[in-house]
Structure 1
Amino acid sequence: MFVTKPSNKKTKILHIATGNYSPRVIKEVSTLVEHYEVYVIQAVRLKDSEPKAHFYHINYYPQLWKRICFNFPKILFWYFKIQPKVVHIHVIELIPIAYLFSLLKTKVIFDIYEDFHKKLPTKQKNNILLSLFSYFDKLSSKHFNLIFAENTYLTSYPNIIKNHEVILNYPRKADFETIHFHFNISKPEVFYIGQISSNRCIEKLLEAIYLLKELYPNIKLHLFGYFSSNDFPRKLEVLIKEYDLEENVLKYGMTSFKEAAEIAKNAFVGIALLKDVGDYSISYPTKMFEYMASGLPVITSNFEHCLSVINSTKAGFGVNPESVQEIFEVINWFIQNPKEAKEMGNLGKEAIQKQYNWESEAKKLIAFYQKVLAD
């Protein structure tokens, strides 16, 4: 009688993220490495400590055609070399190649960070390609397993055939345990991290800083992140020069939250503003929760879903994202009320510890993978 020894080999999982850096990839991979052998093809590497997975780093190209021409061949090479059981994609441009993988009998998971159908009308360039990807996006609802970062995205996918789950993009508690801001109002510093674009109200924020400079000449605005378009850096520089803010606005590029918090350690408020375009009015800004986790009070848009979090936790204020005056007044209030600002930050951190954390979502991710692999 022959006894077959149980295999110690773990199921191979491949995550692919060719767009700008997403902390969500690291959070998901950190959760999955305890159960699977995880491979990651990722553009834009930061100094964050990466989980114990196999990483293949590729270049990030702002132009879509370059990402397709230069990165897709590498993805195909590594796919056939790894031969994963599951491919987990993180950007919509990967749908065509992921559809090929599904035809090759690989299980595909599409992680949907934004409601592309609502954002499509706001895109001005590459309309033909975007329409094509919109078509593939509809195919994904029939052939892919879907993860949604927001409950509201489900309305754009009425005909889901395979497994789906909503896994909210909350911060990991451990990532923010060692982060502390000093709330040094004698050196007022405003903190922003994320995509730098007009839709993130950066121009409105600059105008507010211009007004605040009249009261606080040494005020600083720290901008950490990447630009949404090739022309916005020049537009930003023109505005900075026009408002005479060369000494007040500091830009750093892509930076991990931990490193950014060390640079801007005197910050007393985090900015998480979004304009009412595309799906922003129904989506949580991830940075809102990250600021809360770090102990910073938040200024966010006065959308209903954002206000429900901010008002219930008392972790900050919601303002009209188009109103320079409201942004100015709230930042000024924080400067004038440092004790209350710090207390708001503490309340936000407490809310993350109790409710809005990745640990609650990680269990859903593991259960979802088990369901996908069982099909």
Structure 2
Amino acid sequence: MPSIIHFTTVHSRTDTRIRVKQVSTLAAAFGQNVELFVQDGCGDEIDATSGFRIHDTGLRPQRRISRMTKGAWRMFQEIRKARPQIAHFHDPELIPVGILLRLTGVKIIYDVHEDLPRQILAKSYLSNSVRKILSLAASSLEWLAAISMNHIVLAGATLSHRFPSKKSTCIYNYPMVDELTVNALEREDSNSKQFFYVGGLAKTRGVVEMVQAIDHVTDHEASLSLAGPFQPKELKDEVTREPGWKRTAHVDWIGRKDLAVALANSAAGLVTLQPTDSYLQSYPTKLFEYMMGGLPIIASDFPFWRTILDDIDCAIFVDPLKPQEIARAMHWILDNPDKARKMGEVGKNAVKERFSWDIEARRLVELYEDLLAA
């Protein structure tokens, strides 16, 4: 029986924070007593790199309400049967499952990836009244988690104001050192004119402005590469009508190895999220991945992001709502390749020294050692 189980009904079994970083780190520290429980209908497997077992609890229900009820109940039954010492979950909708498992004597960790109440308030397709009600419900649910769980893991310090400091720990989603580094043979073009974005493609994430920006770049060899799903899917129809789409390549998903190659063959990374409450104080993973990949960054001019990169000359800050300003930053990158390359080197060194997963991994293992000993 496993001593430690991570579980999710929402995230993919390939999720980088869960599988590649956290579960792999714990498997290295605690051996085969660590497992990952998912719900995707793809069957069980053994992680080829770290050797831990991934247990599939069945096909995820398609409808959200069914996933939150039938899917969650199925997950609860599987974990109760396994009887771990610690269970660590990653989805707010599994808070009731966490509470039930806590009542059976399992030590529970709730991993808060994002500021859910603020995210709900930014969902423009919902009416103001519905947004407020759902945001309040999410806040109440997480308050219940705060008092019920053994520990809370936070993906960023800006989430800490909602949880008791005595039972919460920040585990930042920093990249693993050298994970996104490729050899010379995989670097197709050291003078690339491709601008790259990885992550969900939504209006609030600036996808429309990025496509508009590439159309303003006068060097017609310059291109835009987008890696991630459109949210919602219907948004793609709108974006493909933009003139800049002719200079845009898109894939719905990219693996870690292909991501490394894409970074190595890009001129700069884009993180031009729009100034919503949920992004103004965020720690975007892609920011640090671009740095690890040695890319200069074109980033939204948020005061908080400036504090993160205060003494690191690796980014050009722009107004994310102005495509022509993004385009001017692209022009600068193309016109100053040596300076841009130096910015990328500075960013990569900063990740190795200050923003690497190695630091977070030690903190995660120490947390588990304390909980297992308690």
**TM-score class normalised by the smaller sequence:** 0.7 to 0.9
SS at structure 1 position matched to 2:261: helix
Equivalent residue for 1:209? Answer: 214
What is the aligned partner in structure 1 of residue 276 from structure 2? 277
Counterpart for residue 148 of structure 2: 143
Distance 1:353 1:107, change over 3 A: same
Structure 2 length as normaliser, TM-score? 0.86
Partner of 2:29: 35
Tell me what 1:23 maps to. Answer: 16
Alpha-carbon shift at residue 191 of structure 1 (Å): 0.8
Q: How far 1:232 sits from its partner (Å)?
A: 2.0
TM-score (norm 1): 0.86
Runs of 4+ in 1 over 6 A off after TM superposition: none
SS at match of 2:267: strand
In structure 1, the residue matched to 2:68 is 68
Instruction: Report the Cα distance in structure 2 between the residues aligned to 1:261 and 1:225, rounded to whole angstroms.
Output: 15
Deviations, residues 169-217 of structure 1 (Å, cap 9, x unaligned)? 11110412336756544x51111111111111111111101111xx222
1:154 alignment counterpart: 160
Alignment of 1:289-300 (within 5 A): 289-300=288-299
Q: Compared with structure 1, are the counterparts of its residues 339 and 242 closer, same or farther at alpha carbon in structure 2 (3 Å cutoff)?
A: same
Of the three residues 172, 176, 181, the one matched with 1:172 is: 176
Shift of residue 33 of structure 1? Answer: 0.7
- How far 1:235 moved relative to its partner? 2.5
Residue 71 of structure 1: CA displacement?
Answer: 3.0
Counterpart residue number, 1:221? 224
Residue 49 of structure 1 deviates from its aligned partner by 6.0
- Maintained 8 Å contact 2:196/2:269: yes
Note closer, same or farther for the CA distance 1:357–1:61 as it changes in structure 2 (3 Å cut). farther
| Root mean square deviation, CA, Å | 2.6
Q: Deviations over 1:349-375 (max 9, x none)?
A: 111111110111111111111222333
Partner secondary structure for residue 254 of structure 1 = coil
Q: CA deviation at 1:108?
A: 0.8
Q: Corresponding residue for 2:236? A: 233
| SS of structure 2 residue aligned to 1:308 | helix
Query: How many aligned positions are there?
Result: 355
Whether 1:198 and 2:203 are equivalent positions in the alignment is yes
1:251 paired residue number: 250
Distance 1:279 1:309 in 2: 17
The Cα offsets for residues 211-240 of structure 1, whole Å up to 9 and x where unpaired, read as: 11xx2223221111123323322222xxx2
Shift of 1:249: 1.2
Further displaced range: 327-336 or 94-103 = 94-103
Shift of 1:134: 3.3
Distance in 2, Cα, partners of 1:16 & 1:65 = 19
Alignment check: 8 A CA contact 1:191 1:269 kept: yes
Secondary structure at the aligned position of 2:111 is classed as strand
The CA deviation at 1:56 is 2.5
Query: Does the aligned pair in 1 maintain the 2:117–2:136 contact within 8 Å?
Result: no
Structure 2: how far apart are the matches of 1:330 and 1:317? Answer: 7
Give me the whole-angstrom Cα distance separating, in 1, the residues matched to 2:60 and 2:298: 31
The structure-2 alpha-carbon separation of the partners of 1:43 and 1:250, relative to structure 1 and needing over 3 Å to count, comes to farther
* Match in the other structure for 2:355: 356
Q: Distance in 1 between matches of 2:340 and 2:54?
A: 40
Match of 1:169, as an amino acid?
N
Equivalent residue number for residue 326 of structure 1: 325
The CA distance in 1 between the partners of 2:70 and 2:286, in whole Å, is 31
State the Cα distance separating 1:245 from its structure 2 match.
2.5
Contact 1:299 1:316 in 2 (8 A): yes
Q: Give unpaired runs (5+ residues) of structure 2.
A: none
Q: Give yes or no for contact 1:143–1:162 (8 Å, CA) kept in 2.
A: no
Matched letter for residue 118 of structure 1: R
| Partner of residue 188, structure 1 | 193
Partner SS for 2:37: strand
Pair 264,292 (structure 1): closer, same or farther in 2 beyond 3 Å? closer
Cα distance in structure 1, aligned partners of 2:272 and 2:141: 31
* Percent of aligned pairs sharing the same letter: 26
SS at match of 2:159: helix
Kindly indicate whether residue 317 of structure 2 is the aligned counterpart of residue 312 of structure 1: no
2:3 counterpart of 1:12: yes
Q: 1:102 maps to which residue?
A: 102
Compared with structure 1, are the counterparts of its residues 76 and 129 closer, same or farther at alpha carbon in structure 2 (3 Å cutoff)? farther
Contact 1:109 1:146 in 2 (8 A): yes
Task: Give the drift of 1:41.
Answer: 2.1
Confirm or deny: 8 A CA contact 1:14 1:88 kept in the other structure.
yes
Question: 2:211, 2:244 within 8 Å by CA — same for their partners in 1?
Answer: no
Q: Structure 2: how far apart are the matches of 1:271 and 1:62?
A: 32
What's the CA shift for 1:311?
4.1
Partner of residue 286, structure 1:
285
Contact 2:199 2:229 in 1 (8 A): yes
